[in-house]
A and B are shown apart, each in its own frame.
Chain A
Amino acid sequence: MTEKELQRKRLEKFIQERDMLHAMVQAFTQSPTAEEQLYAGLTKVYVDHHNEIIRCVEEGKPFIASYFACAPEIYSAMDLPWYTFLTPAFTGAISEPTLSAEIDGSEKLFGKDLCTILRIAGYYIEEDVAPIPTAIIGLLHPCDGTTVLHQIIASNENWSKVPQFAADPPYWEDERSIDYYVGELKRMVAFLEEHTGYRLDMDRLREVIEVSNKEYELWMEYNELRRAVPCPHGYGVGMQAFGVVEGFLVGDPRGIDWLKILVADAEKLVQEKRGKVPNERIRLFWFDVVSLGWSFDLFPWLEQEWGAVIVMDMFGYTPYTLIDTSSEVTMFRGLAKRALFDVPMVRQARGVADNFLADIRRVVKDYKINCVVWPGHMGHKDGSANIGMMRETCREIGVPFLHIGLDLFDKRYTAIDEIKDKFSQFFTAMGLG
């Protein structure tokens, strides 16, 4: 294969994803609902982001692969394009036969008990269908799976030549841990400067963080509005907000614009006492990712059949911490704290189980939750070892708890009818709905 053909092969999936997102923009734009109009704006940003990465590949410009949890404020401040190879597994849910084939392919390589989304990412690496970046910033928490994904990358013939750095995460939440992680972030910056040729300017970092702080403020304001009964928006919007604040619009004024529209829309609905579900009867805390695949059937069914709204989910919820931008020291300490303590999924799953349980207590109280659902994704080994503790916490605070056991990305793992049946029996037994 020529270099050009190889490049095309590696971009193929990415281009497919871009085209799929573009089609979604068209669909959302034509929707009459304000919620879907919001999605249209955001999805357009994702399309632009994909185009940027494609351009970088074609023009040989630096770009990196990374995640939301690795202080992406730094990449934004360096104007360094980045992408994450986990998203095709998310968006792939739109084309289930393709995704299922990829899941099966990944199973042949890695067996079937490693988290599906990580397995698929590993599969893309081994099959050489992901654009090879200039450098990689890896993620070593919150779970074992993320660490081993980066081992796969490091040992793959083509990807092993790509320099890779991953910050080592401490287990605690104290000043010593922050200091330690600051050291790791500084090493990360040095690594990026060395391998991309881009430089981190402190004034630019300050600008990005100040915008990011505003984004967090707006996200929190939005989350306050979700406390209303009925809840103004349903599933999915929280994930979108997360995607803006911690994803591709980190420290980007367009993120502020989008969040302002989101807040305004939610405010209007709250003032009019209009909820996503006309007859809201059940307020759920879905304590995991709101995956795209289940967004086409399970979540709409919950709303329509049971008047059950996912008021809050794992990714929609984050504590609000302003970063002090007065000095380089305070900025790096703030970024370290944010990366360890504020980022969804990482903050709950990385340390002791108390992090999980504290979320349940807080969210149930603040959002007037009727029941807590632990979907029990097959990849969440640590979370699934919290089942007893979660159940007992829910019992203490007087809210029912449901553990399902499913795959957020492979709907064949637990059939949807079985899941619906579990929900129905649970709601009935608990006198909900």
Chain B
Amino acid sequence: METKVKTKAMQEFSEAAKTLVNPAVQDWRKQGGKVVGCFCSYVPEEIITAAGFLPFRMRATGSAGTELADAYLSSINCSFTRHCFNMGLRGEYGFVEGVIWPSTCDHVRRTYDNWKRKVETPFVHIMSLPKKTEEPQVGWYRDEMVNLKKALEKHFGVKITDERLWEAIRLHNETRRLQRQLYELRKKRNPPITGAEALAVMVAGTAMPKERYNQLLKELLDEISQLEGNADYRARLMIVGGILDDPAYIEVIESQGGLVVTDMTCFGTKIMWNDVAEGAGDPLTALARYYIADRPSCPRMFGDYSRRADFVREMVREFKVDGIIGERLIFCDLWTVEHYMLDKDLKAEGVPYLKLDREYLLGGIGQLRTRVQAFLETMRR
């Protein structure tokens, strides 16, 4: 699937997606700005922004191995965490002043334990993330946010006021709105952007100052809304899964003729399909409600599967999806069962579903191509 988008904005986004410390982060730091890493999309980034820092989604882009991490983690721990931790041990995360983890999953939460002992990051913090999405859990996570806010204030000597929080919420909501506009264009019969390009745009959104990102994204939207769009594809696909931050993976899929038009992933619709409710009241409660109850949840959230499945169905309908590719990092228990259930339910409704296991670093390209090709053929595409 050849990219047609050659704008400066797209170039910056692609650069940010394939480089860990992209130029925007470098500029930010040169101006004295601080960067705080977020190990999962459940970290309330708005609080970091309100503190005056740049929230940066942790990735292991550019990692070549896990030889250092393997002395601490085991071969049954997911490759995303092993690569991230390896980069931490190698000093490649020296550009962050802090890292925040939620207790998301077994692999992520233990990365916190290992990181705090072995990597010299000035500020490390873990949040107790609930496993349900009901009202008591919104209250619990609000209290966790209060604790995070206090910890940031104490460590960095800053004041995070409600006013600053509301400003941050509005800024991040603007990002979400613009990203949804991008996805709206992907609903077209001939989307003007490939799935790989869209993922690059979304990953970049987690790796640069929001003001700059929003400006660039507006430019990109202006540019591509005029484009003819991609007509040369065999099937419209949706990607469902967890941490997928590598556009090259989508490129391989799209090289077989599938066009990825939407997703439910940790760098995709999950982080932008809803907004934090703006307005009067307590901003931390608004944030807690958004992260726990409102937006599409992670498979770790018990009792919320039917809402997630309905979200997938909504995406299938709105984006006219022909088939779903469910990707999973090997050893992820959460996605093992989520894909099992989605596969069963959606196939029964006539939606083709392909389950793919992968490692964090792109590999087995030949095999991936073959599986996707076969999938498209079973759809008679």
Chain A partners chain B: yes
Give residues in A with beta carbon < 8 Å to B: 109-111, 113-115, 122, 138, 140-141, 143-145, 147-152, 154-155, 164, 166, 168-172, 176-177, 180, 183-184, 187, 352-354, 376, 378, 381-382, 384-389, 403, 405
Please state if B302 and A151 are interface contacts (CB–CB under 8 Å).
yes
With a CB–CB cut-off of 8 A, which chain B residues contact A353? 110, 113-114
Given A140-B302, A169-B131, A180-B140, decide whether A388 and B106 contact each other with a Cβ distance below 8 A. Answer: no
A143 to B118, CA, bound (A): 24
Tell me, rounded to whole Å, the shortest Cβ–Cβ distance linking A97 to chain B.
26
Which residues 135-182 of B have a CB within 8 angstroms of A?
A: 136-137, 140, 143
Contact check: which of A149, A155, A169 meets B305 at CB < 8 Å?
Answer: A155
Q: Does B19 sit within 8 A of A, measured CB to CB?
A: no
Please state if B336 and A388 are interface contacts (CB–CB under 8 Å).
no
Which residues 99-146 of B have a CB within 8 angstroms of A?
A: 103, 105-107, 109-114, 117-118, 126, 128-132, 136-137, 140, 143
A230 to B114, CA, bound (A): 36
Please state if A143 and B106 are interface contacts (CB–CB under 8 Å).
yes
Nearest CB in chain A to that of B136: its residue: A183
| 9 A-B pairs with the lowest CB-CB distances in the bound complex, closest first | A388-B72, A385-B110, A171-B128, A353-B113, A148-B337, A382-B106, A384-B74, A381-B106, A144-B333
A177 to B140, CA, bound (A): 9
Q: Does B303 sit within 8 A of A, measured CB to CB?
A: yes
Please state if B336 and A110 are interface contacts (CB–CB under 8 Å).
yes
With a CB–CB cut-off of 8 A, which chain A residues contact B231? none
A168 to B337, CA, bound (A): 20
In the complex, 7 of the A-B residue pairs with CB atoms within 8 angstroms, ordered by the A residue number, are A110-B340, A140-B131, A166-B132, A382-B109, A385-B106, A385-B113, A389-B114
A387 to B131, CA, bound (A): 26
Q: Does B198 sit within 8 A of A, measured CB to CB?
A: no
Please state if A168 and B136 are interface contacts (CB–CB under 8 Å).
yes
With a CB–CB cut-off of 8 A, which chain A residues contact B357? 111
Nearest CB in chain B to that of A165: its residue: B303
With a CB–CB cut-off of 8 A, which chain A residues contact B299? 148, 151
With a CB–CB cut-off of 8 A, which chain B residues contact A147? 131, 300, 302, 334
Tell me, rounded to whole Å, the shortest Cβ–Cβ distance linking B66 to chain A.
12
Please state if B333 and A184 are interface contacts (CB–CB under 8 Å).
no
A381 to B113, CA, bound (A): 14
Please state if A148 and B331 are interface contacts (CB–CB under 8 Å).
no
Nearest CB in chain B to that of A353: its residue: B113
With a CB–CB cut-off of 8 A, which chain A residues contact B75? 405
Please state if A385 and B73 are interface contacts (CB–CB under 8 Å).
yes
Q: Does B71 sit within 8 A of A, measured CB to CB?
A: yes
Please state if B338 and A388 are interface contacts (CB–CB under 8 Å).
no
Q: Does B274 sit within 8 A of A, measured CB to CB?
A: no
Tell me, rounded to whole Å, the shortest Cβ–Cβ distance linking B149 to chain A.
16
A154 to B78, CA, bound (A): 26
A289 to B103, CA, bound (A): 24
Interface centre among B71, B333, B341, B344 (most CB of A within 10 A): B333
Please state if B113 and A384 are interface contacts (CB–CB under 8 Å).
no
A148 to B300, CA, bound (A): 7
Q: Does B76 sit within 8 A of A, measured CB to CB?
A: yes
Given A171-B128, A172-B128, A180-B140, decide whether A381 and B340 contact each other with a Cβ distance below 8 A. Answer: no
Contact check: which of A140, A180, A352 meets B126 at CB < 8 Å?
Answer: A352
Nearest CB in chain B to that of A109: its residue: B340
Given A155-B305, A388-B114, decide whether A171 and B103 contact each other with a Cβ distance below 8 A. Answer: yes
A241 to B26, CA, bound (A): 59
Please state if B334 and A381 are interface contacts (CB–CB under 8 Å).
no
Interface centre among A114, A115, A147, A176 (most CB of B within 10 A): A147
With a CB–CB cut-off of 8 A, which chain A residues contact B333? 113-115, 143-145, 148, 381
Please state if A384 and B73 are interface contacts (CB–CB under 8 Å).
yes
With a CB–CB cut-off of 8 A, which chain B residues contact A150? 302
